[in-house]
């Protein structure tokens, strides 16, 4: 069927050669153009031809080569999706949302992990460019605005968790500060005054904003800010564990702790548990993100919800719009406090 002679540009024998458009055309006794048109429904084709072509396609279970198609069309129907780690429960939900939305439009997602550092993030972006993705979604990266702007010259970008007013770009900022005040108002409303805060890593804008919200709420309530009540964590369970342990062992009096995110809260839970303290009887705990697992923690965790799933869906929606040259009209998902049973009146 295929010319067995080696030709220029035709490299060594590929293990198992697939069947091509031309093979189908030959078998159906038509031209490749016609097969292409039938597959894509581009033009009306007579029923008789259609039938024999479809038979040939079915017989070989022929599937057009996406990359070849992309090359001819000038677009790949692929979107690059950068998150910090594919196994982070926080991003996972967002990726899920993206995947779903993209799939609905026949786009594929190319997921890559930036591992919370600039080098890896930049490597991912270059990979995206290599693959000529039609667009890129960045989940709160740590790449400088200027760098992102430059990439946006080559390919439209949607960023979440930051505000980036550049061409070929759309931003879906996260309402960190507002969310944090929501959590604090709840705690304060419950009568708490000595509220500890387990922070995230300093280099993260989200971390800073959530801390700012913590302080703002304190101030509004006329409660003095006590720096000894804020300890840095690492966004993970481990950091929450050590930070809370530290707080406990330093014997700082506190009746509630607000954690920069849910994973941190899980760590705090364990620290409290180890010290024989009960949530919420001895101390109230609030998290941020409302991960799916938070409704299964013991006790179920009160948390600030910002649906990452929805964030992902909107990011996908936005990049699709950008790719088609439309200007997205999208809001970041709302934040709201989900009150469960990890908090109680003092």
Partner DNA sequence: CTGAAAGCGCTTACAG
Residues that bind DNA (CB under 7 A): 2-3, 6-12, 17-18, 20-22, 29-34, 36-37, 39-40, 42-46, 48-49, 62-65, 68-69, 71-74
For residues 42 and 219, which CB has a smaller minimum distance to DNA in the complex? Answer: 42
Q: Is 205 in the site for its own copies (CB under 8 A)?
A: no
203: partner contacted, choices DNA, its own copies, none (Cβ within 5-8 A by kind): none
Q: Which of 87, 202, 281, 331 binds its own copies (CB under 8 A)?
A: 87
Q: Which is nearer to its own copies, 99 or 121 (CB)?
A: 99
Residue 293 binds to its own copies (criterion: CB under 8 A): yes
Reported as type and span, the H/E element at residue 112 is strand 108-113
Q: What is the C-alpha separation between 319 and 322, in angstroms, rounded?
A: 5
- Taking CB under 8 A as the criterion, which residues in 134-163 touch its own copies? 153-155
2 contact choice in its own copies, DNA, none (CB below 5 to 8 Å, kind-dependent): DNA
Q: What SS3 class is residue 334?
A: coil
Beta pairing partners, 259? 198
**CA distance linking residue 284 with residue 238, whole number of Å:** 19
Q: How many Å apart are CA 315 and CA 162, to the nearest integer? A: 13
**Cα–Cα distance for residue pair 294/47, rounded to 1 Å:** 57
Residue 111, SS3 per DSSP? strand
* Binding residues among 222-241 for its own copies as defined by CB under 8 A: 237, 241
Neighbour order of strands in the sheet with 157-160? 108-113, 78-83, 135-139, 157-160, 169-172
Question: Closer CB to its own copies, residue 6 or residue 228?
Answer: 6
Helix 47-60 to helix 32-40 angle, to the nearest 10 degrees? 90
As measured in angstroms, the least distance from the Cβ of 266 to its own copies is: 5
Residues found near its own copies in the complex (CB under 8 A): 9, 11, 14-16, 18, 63-68, 70-76, 85-89, 92-93, 95-96, 99, 108-113, 126-127, 129-132, 153-155, 237, 241, 266-267, 269-270, 273, 292-293, 295-300, 325
């Amino acid at each position: 069927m295929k010319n067995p002679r080696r030709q220029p540009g035709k490299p060594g024998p590929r293990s198992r050669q697939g069947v091509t458009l031309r093979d189908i055309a030959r078998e159906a006794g038509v031209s490749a153009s016609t097969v292409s048109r039938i597959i894509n429904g581009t033009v009306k084709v007579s029923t008789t031809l259609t039938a024999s072509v479809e038979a040939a396609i079915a017989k070989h279970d022929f599937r057009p080569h996406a990359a070849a198609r992309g090359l001819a069309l000038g677009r790949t129907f692929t979107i690059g999706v950068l998150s910090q780690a594919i196994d982070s429960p926080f991003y996972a939900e967002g990726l899920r949302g993206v995947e779903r939305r993209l799939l609905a439009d026949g786009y594929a997602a190319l997921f890559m992990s930036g591992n919370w550092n600039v080098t890896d993030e930049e490597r991912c972006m270059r990979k995206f460019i290599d693959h000529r993705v039609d667009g890129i979604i960045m989940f709160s990266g740590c790449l400088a605005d200027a760098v992102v702007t430059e990439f946006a010259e080559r390919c439209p970008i949607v960023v979440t968790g930051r505000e980036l007013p550049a061409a070929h770009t759309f931003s879906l900022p996260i309402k960190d500060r507002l969310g944090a005040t929501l959590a604090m108002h709840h705690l304060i409303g419950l009568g708490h005054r000595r509220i500890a805060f387990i922070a995230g890593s300093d280099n993260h804008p989200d971390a800073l904003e959530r801390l700012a919200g913590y302080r703002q709420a304190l101030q509004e309530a006329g409660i003095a800010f006590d720096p000894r009540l804020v300890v840095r964590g690492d966004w993970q369970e481990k950091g929450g564990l050590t930070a809370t342990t530290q707080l406990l062992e330093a014997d700082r009096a506190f009746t509630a702790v607000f954690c920069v995110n849910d994973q941190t809260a899980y760590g705090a839970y364990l620290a409290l548990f180890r010290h024989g303290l009960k949530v919420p009887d001895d101390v109230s705990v609030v998290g941020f993100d409302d991960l799916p697992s938070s409704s299964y923690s013991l006790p179920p965790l009160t948390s600030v919800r910002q649906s990452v799933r929805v964030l992902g869906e909107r990011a996908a929606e936005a990049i699709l719009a950008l790719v088609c040259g439309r200007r997205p009209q999208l809001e970041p998902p709302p934040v709201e406090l989900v009150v469960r049973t990890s908090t109680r009146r003092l």
